[in-house]
Amino acid sequence: MLKLTTSLAIALAAFAAVPALADDMMMKDGTMVMMQPDGHVTTMTPSADQMKMAQDAMMKHGTEMKAPVMMMMHDGHMMMMNDMKMDDGKMASDHMMMMK
């Protein structure tokens, strides 16, 4: 269950932190995202019946994202890094945003 929860948290972080897919993407309330280690991304909005179960599971097992997370597919591996200060003093997320 912890692996599933971690995967869901990573997926949500990934969806919010990947501006290369589209400029300034914003998830709508209730949207769910799952990212697989092979880079496959699935998005969905649960039906009204599914929403309560999804919300309950996420609130019980999920972790709130409090800072940007960068993800990159490299040689078939999905790599994840929390935002951090780089050697030049700028944050990694600032560098990523300048790549658009």
Give the pLDDT confidence score for residue 22 in this predicted structure. Answer: 47
Give the tens place of pLDDT for each residue, 15-74: 555 545 545 678 888 889 989 999 999 999 988 888 899 899 999 999 999 888 888 899
Per-residue pLDDT reduced to its tens digit, 90-100 = 998 888 888 76
Q: Where are the domains of the chain?
A: 2-98
3-state class percentages of the chain: helix first, strand second, coil last, to nearest 5: 35, 20, 40
Q: How far is CA 11 from CA 29, 67, 70, 77, 98, in A?
A: 15, 14, 11, 15, 23
- The model's pLDDT over 74-83, given as tens digits with 9 standing for 90+, comes to 999 999 999 9
Predicted TM-score (pTM) of this structure:
0.57
Query: In the chain, what's the furthest Cα-to-Cα distance?
Result: 49
pLDDT at 1 over 60: no
